[in-house]
């Protein structure tokens, strides 16, 4: 499978790493895949990336890449506002697609893209890579097996400290004109996906956004008026009756990549924190009272087959491992022509939830999803 990579910032490098290292983590991989070309808005950047990282051909434009019949898959790692047009072009060219989240910047665009992909019989996945951290996969197994009973309550958080210094130049993900939203798009999409995947479909949401620093330095180093939320807080009710909160932000001093959840059910609970990626905490209410207590389940490198033993089942894992697993899941779906998960339909649903949360925050209403 020949992959054309669009964009080569931090996520472009991450995706290239994932493709190039599949053979070490999965044995046997079951398919052959390579980054065969790269395209950036600046051709020199594409050429440097191709030469430095061995990524095949540097394309001068997306059209050039899409017209190349040897390219089977388009991997989109560009800023959010460009996704919609790039996705449409790739679908019309008959390419399978792997796209960074969020899928688009509006729910209607995301729904249109998901429908187009389905109508054209293409294998298309969105990158919700935290799903592929082993403790999260283990939590899914326990919940689906009924080990915590019926979910009753949840708390999902994703905290960064990257926007705590107004004297530091803002990044494009803080600029609504490029990101399409604020921290809800950037971090909240991940947390919403996890709660939806683990606990069930959303019924209604209520949102509150926060801008702590109305004025900061912009991307060019000059004074700039903040145009996107720096934190977002949400309450949600699921269709199964579970209720909980989701809070995300980049104004939390002392945090790094603090993505966590707690899910409480009628028979037990699970807890996870990305900063402790090797363990899942599990509480079993069915045990005798004298034996109860949260148990730390060792996850480490114990990924399901055909994951190999590299670097070892007891070796600690890190953030990149989730991206390797996500890429393997997508490419396996392309190889077997099966529906990937998370799919574009999953991404469209997350987009709708975020849009309803924004409407709620603007109008002070509770919005039905």
For the stretch 222-240, pLDDT in tens is 999 999 999 999 999 999 9
User: What's the mean pLDDT when you consider all of the chain?
Assistant: 97
Encode burial over 145-163: b for 16+ CB neighbours within 10 A, e otherwise. eebbeebbebbbbbbbbbb
Portion of the chain with pLDDT greater than 70, in percent: 100
Across the range 97-116, mean pLDDT stands at 98
**What is the radius of gyration, based on Cα positions, of the chain?**
21
> Cis ω on the peptide bond leading into residue 102 (within 30° of 0)?
yes
Cα dihedral 288, 290, 293, 297 sign: negative
| Euclidean distance between CA atoms 342 and 221, whole angstroms | 38
Strands (E), 183-230: 202-210, 215-217, 223-225
Neighbours of 69 (CB within 10 A): 9
Instruction: Please state whether the peptide bond connecting residue 363 to the residue before it is cis, i.e. omega within 30 degrees of 0.
Output: no
User: Which pLDDT tens digit goes with each residue over 177-189?
Assistant: 999 999 999 999 9
User: What is the reported pLDDT for 243?
Assistant: 98
SS3 288: coil
To the nearest 10°, report the CA torsion of 274, 200, 15, 29. 100
Write the pLDDT tens digit of every residue in 270-326: 999 999 999 999 999 999 999 999 999 999 999 999 998 888 899 899 999 999 999
pLDDT digits (tens, 9 = 90+) for 196-208: 999 999 999 999 9
Average the pLDDT over 8-24 and give the result: 97
With H, G, I as helix, E, B as strand and everything else as coil, classify residue 17: helix
Residue count of the chain = 369
Q: Is the peptide bond before 209 cis (omega within 30 degrees of 0)?
A: no
């Amino acid at each position: 499978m020949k992959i054309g990579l669009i964009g080569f910032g931090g996520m472009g490098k991450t995706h290239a790493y994932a493709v190039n290292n599949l053979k070490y983590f999965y044995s046997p991989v079951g398919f052959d895949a390579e980054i065969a070309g790269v395209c950036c808005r600046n051709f020199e950047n594409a050429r440097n990336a191709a030469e430095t990282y061995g990524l095949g051909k540097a394309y001068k434009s997306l059209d050039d890449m899409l017209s190349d019949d040897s390219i089977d898959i388009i991997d989109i790692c560009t800023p959010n506002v460009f996704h919609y047009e790039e996705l449409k072009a790739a679908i019309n060219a008959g390419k399978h697609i792997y796209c960074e989240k969020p899928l688009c910047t509006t729910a209607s665009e995301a729904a249109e893209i998901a429908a187009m992909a389905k109508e054209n019989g293409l294998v298309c996945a969105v990158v919700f890579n935290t799903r592929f951290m082993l403790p999260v996969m283990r939590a899914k197994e326990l919940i689906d097996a009924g080990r915590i009973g019926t979910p009753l309550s949840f708390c999902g958080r994703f905290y960064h400290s990257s926007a705590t210094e107004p004297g530091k130049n803002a990044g494009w993900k803080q600029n609504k004109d490029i990101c399409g939203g604020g921290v809800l798009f950037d971090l909240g999409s991940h947390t919403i996906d996890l709660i939806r995947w683990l606990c069930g479909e959303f019924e209604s949401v209520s949102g509150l956004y926060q801008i702590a620093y109305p004025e900061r330095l912009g991307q060019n180093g000059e004074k700039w008026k903040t145009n996107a939320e720096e934190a977002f807080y949400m309450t949600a009710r699921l269709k199964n009756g579970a209720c909980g909160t989701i809070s995300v932000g980049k104004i939390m001093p002392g945090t790094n990549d603090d993505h966590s959840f707690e899910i409480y059910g009628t028979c037990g609970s699970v807890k996870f924190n990305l900063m402790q990626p090797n363990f899942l905490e599990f509480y079993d209410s069915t045990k005798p009272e004298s034996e109860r207590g949260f148990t730390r389940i060792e996850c480490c490198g114990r990924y399901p087959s055909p994951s190999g033993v590299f670097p070892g089942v007891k070796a600690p894992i890190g953030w990149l491992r989730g991206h390797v697993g996500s890429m393997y899941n997508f490419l396996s779906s392309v190889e077997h022509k099966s529906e990937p998960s998370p799919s574009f339909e999953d991404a469209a649903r997350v987009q709708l939830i975020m849009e309803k949360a924004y409407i709620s925050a603007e109008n002070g209403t509770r919005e039905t999803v």
